[in-house]
Structure 1
Amino acid sequence: MGDFNKLEPIKAAQKFINKYFQYCDGALLAGSVVRGEATETSDLDIVIFDNTFSSSYRESIIDYEWQIEVFAHNLNSYRDYFESDYKRARPSLPRMVSEGKILKDNGVIESIKCEAKELIAKGPEKWSDETIKTKRYFITDSLDDFIGCNSRAEGIFIANTLAELVSEFVLRTNNRWIGTSKWIIRSLRHFDVNFADQFVDAFDMFYKNGEKQKIIKLVDELLQPYGGRLFDGFSLGKK
């Protein structure tokens, strides 16, 4: 981590639990430090379960020279977050719980971990044909804007939007979880490393030198099995 005076993640997390949540029912250390992907700016993600909490909350604290993100839940509230994450197809809390290293357990963690693992294995809700059609339209709309754009500044942000739409489409049509920010590419790599590399290369070429053709080809190949680009005849909300 570059700071040799800083406590190891697991030691810092354990001290933090003993200091602030010694009476909790269970606690987990999650995130990049558990996956072996920590960087100089990584923090400690700590999930707390305590049935005396009236509701869930999130809090950011600096202690033991670590930035610490606390995700606090009682023994029922986490299920609302599991359900919300399932509906938005972004399993943030289930992933933290399933991967998390146990810091404390009064007999509640194993069953919660099982719920999280079952949810992740199940995958997100399958898109309907109507949803796929709608997503095709919005991808087509962004692609048309991208192709016709002559402004470098505008093109950068159109490409950003297109990247999010395309990553969402390929993952959801293959019943895979999606993500935002760094989890876009992580989710794509979990799905298909070759496609993820192709995706990065296409957008990298545009960001570096303005070359659009690889992105256009990528989008057209993605949409082709679903009927290709969609504009003519599309309707939303018409009765």
Structure 2
Amino acid sequence: MMRQPRSREELLASGAELYEALADYYFRSNHRWSAKGKAIPRILKRADADLCLRFCNSFDELFSHGESEKVIALVGELLETNGGFLFDGHRLEAPGDHRKPIADTHRISERFVVPQRE
């Protein structure tokens, strides 16, 4: 919803959700304790001062001017280490030995036959 928001309100609401979610993703994907709310910039600065500056500037631009490009670029950068953005249609197949066998649908349907009333 940040690439094509229906309204400024929707953009800001999406940004507010993303602020904590992106910080949480960064911390956890780097095997660190997470942070919430106003603690995010302080903890992020300790972990990576350059990233903290870019994080704060990109969200400041989003919240002050409604510009989401820097936030979207930052999200892409952070997600890139784990394969990047996932879009509709993404499918990850499990190896064959990790899958459950497909049930015999004929046998299952026989068990659930509803008797006909006369």
TM-score by length of 1: 0.36
Distance across 2 between alignment mates of 1:234 and 1:186: 36
Q: Which residue number in structure 1 is paired with residue 59 of structure 2? A: 203
- C-alpha deviation, 1:181, in angstroms: 1.4
Given that 2:12 and 2:66 are in contact with CA atoms closer than 8 Å, whether structure 1 keeps it comes out as: no
Distance across 2 between alignment mates of 1:233 and 1:187: 35
- C-alpha deviation, 1:222, in angstroms: 0.8
Instruction: Summarize deviations over 1:80-119 as a string: whole Å, max 9, x none.
Output: xxxxxxxxxxxxxxxxxxxxxxxxxxxxxxxxxxxxxxxx
Given that 1:177 and 1:187 are in contact with CA atoms closer than 8 Å, whether structure 2 keeps it comes out as: no
Distance across 2 between alignment mates of 1:194 and 1:218: 12
The root-mean-square deviation of aligned C-alpha atoms, in Å, is 1.7
Distance across 1 between alignment mates of 2:86 and 2:25: 14
Change (3 A) 1:197 1:147: same
Which of residues 91, 94, 111 is equivalent to 1:233? 91
Structure 2 residue 80 is the aligned partner of structure 1 residue 224: yes
Give the 4+ runs in structure 1 shifted more than 6 A. none
- C-alpha deviation, 1:234, in angstroms: 6.0
Distance across 1 between alignment mates of 2:39 and 2:45: 10
Distance across 1 between alignment mates of 2:77 and 2:23: 13
Distance across 1 between alignment mates of 2:34 and 2:24: 6
Given that 1:146 and 1:158 are in contact with CA atoms closer than 8 Å, whether structure 2 keeps it comes out as: yes
Instruction: Summarize deviations over 1:112-138 as a string: whole Å, max 9, x none.
Output: xxxxxxxxxxxxxxxxxxxxxxxxxxx
Q: Which residue number in structure 2 is paired with residue 152 of structure 1? A: 8
Instruction: Summarize deviations over 1:178-215 as a string: whole Å, max 9, x none.
Output: 11111111221121111011000001011111111101
Counterpart of 1:172, as a letter, is R
Q: Which runs of 5+ in 1 are unaligned?
A: 1-144
Counterpart of 2:85, as a letter, is R
What does 1:116-195 correspond to in 2, within 5 Å?
145-195=1-51
RCO comparison, higher one (Cα < 8 Å, 6+): 2
Larger Rg computed on CA atoms: 2
Q: Which runs of 5+ in 2 are unaligned?
A: 94-99, 101-118
TM-score by length of 2: 0.71
**Structure with the higher fraction of residues in strand conformation:** 1
Change (3 A) 1:168 1:234: farther
- C-alpha deviation, 1:150, in angstroms: 2.7
Q: Which residue number in structure 1 is paired with residue 68 of structure 2? A: 212
Counterpart of 1:201, as a letter, is N
Distance across 2 between alignment mates of 1:234 and 1:151: 34
Distance across 1 between alignment mates of 2:59 and 2:15: 8
